[in-house]
Each structure stands twice: as C-alpha cells, then as structure tokens.
Chain A
C-alpha cells in the first residue's frame, strides 16, 4: 500500500482503467465537479474519481482495489441524499451505481422483488403494479432516488406512518463487504443475527449494496385523501396530536405551514381556502368496509380541533392533486427564496405544537424565514430555513439556527434525524444524543464491518476534534 495518497490514487485508477476500461471512469476536474454535492447545498467535496460499475463483480473488483491501494471510497446512487453521506471527503473515490438499474425479478406469489441498487424507488412499485402490489416506503424524491440510497438511509416518506420504513420492507441484500467479499446478507428470514438491521441505515459505511430483495404489499382496496385547512399551524398540530391520542393512525399525516402554502400558490398556482395558515393532508387506506365511519371520525375530530375546512378527494385525479401540493412543496420554496436548507428532526408527537413555536422563535431570532413541511403523523419535522444571500455569514447563521432546532428536538426526547441521516451534516451533533460510551459501541460495530476504515469514512460518528468548518473559498468540508 502506498503511503502517499496522491500516488496511491493514481495507481488505483490506472489499475481500474486497465481492468474496467477508461470509459467508465471520470477523473477530469470539469467532470468531477458534478459530484461535489449530494442533495444538500451546504456541504461539498470533490472526489478524486468516479467509477461506474455495471455488476456486483465489478463493484467487488473496485472495492478490492481500493483496499489494496488504501484509498477510501463511497457509494453513490442518485445523489439526492440530504446529509452528505454520499460526499467523497478527502479525495475518496465515488462508486456510482447508476448503471446497475434493472429490476431483476418480481415474484407476486411471495410478494418479493429483486432489484439492483440503481433502480429508482418508484420503478419498483411500477414493476409490481400489474400484480396489484407496490413497494411501501415512498420518499418525496421517489421518482429519482435509488433503492441503494434508500437502503443506506433507511428511507421513509409520508406513508411510513402506517407502513414502516425501508428496514421493515427489505428481506435480503447482496453486499460487497469492505475488502471486496461478495456476500448475501439476511435478517429475520433466516436464523442468526439480524444483519440487515446493522446494514440498513448505515449510510454506506458497512459495504456497497449490489442487490436488494424487497417485500411488496397489496394495493389497498380503498384510499381516502383529505386536506384540512387551519388558521394556524398550532391548530393543525393539535389535530395531529388529537388523532393519535384518539387511536386513529392514518396511512399518512402531512403538515404544510403558511410559508409553504404561499410558495405553492406562487410557484404552481395552487389555491387554498381563505385564511389558511396551515394545511393537514390526511390519508387513510384499507378495506372498503367501514371506511365511511373512519372518515366520519376524522372529519368530526378535525372540526372539533379547529379545521376551517376539510376537502376530500373524490377520484384518483383529485387525490393526485392533493399529493402534488405536498410532493412539490420543497420545489415551490424556490419561488420565495433563492436557497433553502432542509432540516430533519423528530420529536414525540405530543410536543408538536411547542416545537413549532420554538422553530418560529428561532427563525425570528436569527432573522430567517422558516417554512415547515413535515410528516406530522410520526413527529418527523422538516423546517426549511430560507435564505437569499449565499455568503459565509448567512450560511453560518443558517447552520447555527438549524443546530438550535435540532438541539431542541433532542431536548424534547426526540432525534437528530428521522430519515435524512447523519452523514457529515450531523456528525458532530451525535454527541447531543449519545454519550461517548454509546458512540464508542457503535464504532466497534462499524470497525467490525470495516476494519480498514476505507468504506465511506468520516460519516455518522464524530471525529471528536472540531465542528464542521466551511472554508471561505469553496465551502469544502474538512474531515
């Protein structure tokens, strides 16, 4: 192994070019700049190269070579991650899985599908649709995000309230382990440790996934989608708490605040009830039998807790319209601000109202507008901090405001991250939630999976040295 990193990388790339072909490797600066970021605007790191394998065997070859030359590597799917987990720090090599994008099989009898990691989330459901089945985890980016990325982040989405997250729907993985060994990994479907639990949500630090076996579930007989309007976000969140406390757990409960309502109107021409300062999307699904009674219960409860109005989708088109408002919310923010930073935190559902008050207070103190879009049903909030000036002072103010919001999530008994992951973004904040002993134990497991520390290093666990630094010139992240 070379001790000079630059030499090591050169030799690695020469070896990969000889074995895979030069055409599957990007190494010129103007090519690599495309891979500087994932979906977050706040952090960036340019890789030393990007390699595009077409098979599990090629991934194994790449990983083996990286270990031989002592070069760090990180897997990348669609690059839609929001915590920097897919960023290549310290000149790491990106292993881009986009070419591995086939649905290999769908087994309707066993309700399983086997897919390559580059398949988009939505494509899995599309492949299963003819059998009356679908893949439940549905992140907002599902049209573009990859299953490999979903596995890395244990992705959720609006419907995880009823149907769970990625770890509840993956039956098996094929993995290239750090070092290069290709292995089939199981969980509860075979005796032994639930290794899927260790790998799913490990943000690419325990190997590179080359194949995923997912579970599929039947499309529900009935879906009823409703949109309740409220004067204030506090009333909307009180409805959420009341629904949960009453034992009504719908398939999805999504909250949009006044800033988002405004953005959607401006960007896409959506119209909402007069005076609406918050919207609550409520969706329930299940057997047709008794659905009317459930909808009545929801209608009565929302009215009792302050809803101005409740509209119900009468057909698939109206349902799609309601969901478009939710799924395009983040994109709509671009109409009211040049930039936004999406935070991701979780709180107990009973603390929703006070958390929203806190978020508003943070915004006011830091002179920042904050738009709130979140999975209210499971307490997972996404405050989007809006800003126009892209200078270091503003960015630092945004990051500090975001940190304060997360600190409050943890103080209320919640979590730093509900679905976007820790990545590089929240690495140093893990100490807010976990003690040194807790973190040390996690590191032991990580080291068991990756003794050489080359598989997406510097992610998830704190370095213990310092907070993330942003260099003035190009905001490159320091390790």
Chain B
C-alpha cells in the first residue's frame, strides 16, 4: 500500500494488512516550478500545506486543495479529493497535466508533460486521478496553477427551510456571476447557504451587492458577509469533509449525480426517518454533490440504516462511503456501489498495469 500522510486511509474497502507500506514522504521536492507559466512539478510526497505556502509566495494557488492542512500531493491525486473551490477553479482531474509513475514491474514511466495544453500520447496522468493507488505509485505530479485573486469574500445566509435554501441556491446559480463555491448546509439547526467570489475589488463589490439583494428577495432570515480571516475559516471548514471525519457522526458518504436529480435526492435524505439515523448534509449544487454525515446511537441499527440509504441513493446517482465503521467497509460493493457497466475495461487496465495485484488489492471498486 502507498501512503503519504494517511489522510485518506478511511477510503475504500478494508483490506488485509499489506505486506509492505510504501511511504512517499521522501518524495517532497519541487522538481520544476515556472511561476510565469503557472505550472509546477512536485514530488508526490510533498505535503499540501507546503505546496500552498510555496505557491502563495508567488501569488498563485492550486485552488482545489489550497485550504488543506493535511495530506500529500499523491493522496490528493490518487483519491481525487476535490475541494470546495472545484466548481470555480476546476477539479483535481482538470489541473493535472503530467506525472511520473512507478509500476509494479519496476518501471518508472512519464506521461504527458509540464505544459498546460498537451495531447501527446495517452492521458495516463488523468487516468491515475481517483485510482486509489491501485494502478501505480505516483512519484511526481505536474499541475497547472491559478493566479491568486486580489480579493476573496463569502456570504452566508440562513433560511427557514431546506427548500428555501435550495431555491435561493438555484436562483444564485442561474445568475451569470460565477461564484467559486456554493454550499448548502442542511439537516443542522438552520438551513444555510454559503457561497464565495474571488476577483478584483470592483467585481467583488458589484457581485456582493447583487447577491445581498438576491438573498433578501429569496426570503433569507439573515445574511453575513465574511472577509479575510472569517472568510478563510469558512472556506477551510467547507473544503474537505473527509478531513473533518464524519463531522461528529459515525459515517460520511458522498452522493453525486445529475443536477436534475438533486432535489429528489435531498428530499429523500432530509425526510423524517424512522430508522434513527441522523443526517447532516453539505451540498455542492454546482457539482451535483452531497456529503452526508450519518450518526446513530446503535451500531447494529446504523449498519442496516446506512446500507438501506446507500441502496436508495444509488437509484439516482452514485454514492460512496468516505468514512465508516469497519462493519460497513468489509465489502467493496457496499463502499463503492456495484461495479459499473464499463468494469470489464477497468479490470483490463488493472491487469495491464498491475497484473499480479501487488497494489492494495480489494480496496477499490469491484475489489480492484
């Protein structure tokens, strides 16, 4: 098994204790940084916090991870751990432009490169995104970067009901304002809509004014503009649900699907429950994603309620357990859902790159 900081160790099915854990901690160099080209190549073991500091010194960022305080570059890519700003700046998949990968036959191979536009050869680096370390060991990754915006702000508004908050979010996303994140926090005390803008001062001023009017027209109970440290605190809190564990709950899952399926999915998740499961949601409507934190006072009942909920959610999209008690992680199909229609091709790719299943077999979809 490959390990950076182990920040994603809760992901995937339980596997037998590996014979060997390969640590990437020593692969933490800056291999090549070209600030004027907005590209960087770093070792896969570089801590994300270190990367953020390095880029900030040049007023640049890798937005999809810029609020991370734990985790490594390799883990970010292998687990496709998109942050809250993915909608505004792109997902991990969108910003990986090259990689060097070690394979189980001992070969070290590079693919694509260090420039932002490139179609030379097969897109192996992007194939690695989200592959959970089952195809090869990332040793270096190249990214395209973004310039840091001169100003960042967030707005948070409370609503009487989840439907009111969702309606406000829908109206917001129907405007051509390009928020860099939109989050709905539901199932907690007061339904909340949080969103943010990045840009220069004049743009931000105009968008804030327009947003405040929209929120008022949408019937919010109150709204708050956050800047500087408060804005950073909010974004950091929203950025990585996995880092916060199950938000005090017993399990964390992610549902994602077509945006058109979101309202009915939320209805199912927020409906009064007779199975004792307590559900709290962080919804990213721009991306069609829902992070659901699940809690239950009874572990046995938790297992039954969670597996039933997963089955229901998988009717309208994909649902994956990101953190859960061991009992729920024993079966890869419970964690990831049943293998999809193109699973045969996945197995063929796996067989091509790791024929002996040396790399953490059983952890991923379909037991890959």
Contacts and interface: CB of A to CB of B under 8 A. Distances in A.
Nearest to A193: B346
Nearest to B320: A191
Interface stretch (B64-72, B161-169, B201-209, B213-221): B201-209
A259 interface: no
A6 B37 CA distance: 52
Interface residues of B, number: 86
Given A293-B200, A414-B115, A430-B121, A188 B352 contact: no
Interface string B120-150: 1111101101110001000000000011110
Contacts of B351: 448
B34 interface: yes
A479 to B, nearest CB: 19
Contacts of B345: 177, 183, 185, 195, 448-449
Nearest to A292: B202
Contacts of A248: 147
B123 A449 contact: no
A415 B118 contact: yes
A283 interface: no
A415 B94 contact: no
A165 B124 CA distance: 16
B258 A112 contact: yes
A337 interface: no
B123 A167 contact: yes
Interface stretch (B19-27, B182-190, B335-343): B335-343
A164 B113 contact: no
Contacts of B206: 287-290
Contact of B115 (A194, A249, A346, A426): A346
Contacts of B261: 110
Given A107-B260, A441-B103, A445-B124, A293 B203 contact: yes
A87 interface: no
Nearest to A192: B365
B293 interface: no
Interface stretch (B104-112, B243-251, B295-303): B104-112
Q: Which residue, B114, B123, B320, has most C-beta atoms of chain A within 10 A?
A: B123
Contacts of A244: 36-38
Given A164-B94, A417-B120, A350 B36 contact: yes
A435 B110 contact: yes
A255 B102 CA distance: 39
Given A186-B340, A218-B176, A435-B110, A200 B203 contact: no
Nearest to B350: A193
Nearest to B91: A188
A109 interface: yes
A183 B114 contact: no
A442 B117 contact: no
B35 interface: yes
A195 B121 contact: no
B120 A287 contact: no
Q: Which residue, B35, B109, B346, has most C-beta atoms of chain A within 10 A?
A: B109
B113 A349 contact: no
A435 B101 CA distance: 13
B342 A348 contact: no
B173 to A, nearest CB: 9
Interface of B: 32, 34-39, 59-60, 80, 90-91, 93-94, 101, 103, 107-124, 126-127, 129-131, 135, 146-149, 176-178, 199-207, 210, 256-261, 288, 318, 320, 336-337, 339-346, 348-353, 364-366, 368
23 contacts: A183-B342, A186-B341, A188-B129, A195-B342, A219-B176, A244-B38, A249-B38, A289-B206, A293-B200, A346-B117, A348-B34, A413-B115, A415-B117, A415-B118, A419-B117, A434-B121, A435-B110, A442-B124, A445-B122, A445-B127, A445-B353, A448-B351, A460-B122
Interface of A: 107, 109-112, 153-154, 156, 160, 164-165, 167-168, 177, 183-195, 197-198, 200-202, 218-222, 241, 244-249, 286-294, 297, 346-350, 375, 378-380, 413-422, 426, 430, 433-435, 437-442, 444-449, 460-461
Sort A-B residue pairs by CB-CB distance and give the 8 closest, nearest first.
Answer: A290-B203, A289-B206, A247-B147, A221-B176, A197-B126, A448-B352, A350-B36, A290-B202
